[in-house]
Amino acid sequence: KNEVEQSPQNLTAQEGEFITINCSYSVGISALHWLQQHPGGGIVSLFMLSSGKKKHGRLIATINIQEKHSSLHITASHPRDSAVYICAVPLSQGAQKLVFGQGTRLTINP
Amino acid sequence: ETGVTQSPTHLIKTRGQQVTLRCSSQSGHNTVSWYQQALGQGPQFIFQYYREEENGRGNFPPRFSGLQFPNYSSELNVNALELDDSALYLCASSFSGNYGYTFGSGTRLTVV
């Protein structure tokens, strides 16, 4: 079993739909990251959160530390949101060894 | 403030050759981590450099080595390339004790 599991692995939706991507982890953490990777390969950091909820534009990330679970939501999805979304967890306090989920490939059709 | 720059963007090498990949960290960052991402997989931690010293290593053989320079830029060297080394290599920089990471766009290495 992977230390960081994401679901679903692939998700196709129509423009405008509400999207949810889930991340469960088994390692102890102090913060969880949501990242976005476009086909070119570069990774953009979307959120870093250790409790509660964060919102940026149409993106919302939530985390439940007790349940070791986080979700990334996209409201009013748009084709430009099509990308791979990855959650990542640092293994220990201060460590930069991130353990990544396998990613969720999101495709938004017009 | 500049971001993280990786070079080259693409590279094709022959099995058995050696390769050097480069990463310039974001201004103000003193720590660089390298990751290998095989096709369809999440990135895997290779190693981390902090103030020119290796500060943590993943499950990669010794033919993967690195350097960090006084300006905190970094190199990843891979000797005796194997076909399975074909992947996207990502570096990420941050300031020690700060969980904010900046990732580069990666170097796509193809070994033939």
- Give the pLDDT confidence score for residue B56 in this predicted structure: 86
- B35 CB near a chain A CB, below 8 Å? yes
Which residue ranges of chain B lie beneath pLDDT 50?
Answer: none
Q: Which of A66, A57, A74, A58 is nearest to A22 (CA)?
A: A74
Chain B: give the shortest CA distance to residue A6, in Å.
11
Q: What is the distance between the alpha carbons of residues A90 and A45, in angstroms, rounded to a whole number?
A: 14
**What pLDDT, on the 0 to 100 scale, is given for residue B8?**
96
CA angle at A21 for the pair A15 and A25, rounded to the nearest 5°: 170
Cβ-Cβ contacts under 8 Å, A101 against chain B: 42
Please provide the DSSP assignment of B50-105 as one string: ETTEEEEE-S--TTEEEEE-TTS-EEEEE-S--GGG-EEEEEEEE-TT----EE--
The answer to whether residue B89 neighbours chain A at the CB level (below 8 Å) is no
Size of interface A-B (CB pairs under 8 A): 66
Confidence (pLDDT) at A1: 61
C-alpha B63/C-alpha B93 separation (Å) is 23
Q: Are A98 and B44 inside 8 Å of each other by CB?
A: no
Predicted pLDDT at B32: 92
A36-95 pLDDT per residue, tens: 998 877 888 899 888 899 999 999 999 998 899 999 999 999 999 999 999 998 876 555
pLDDT at position B69: 94
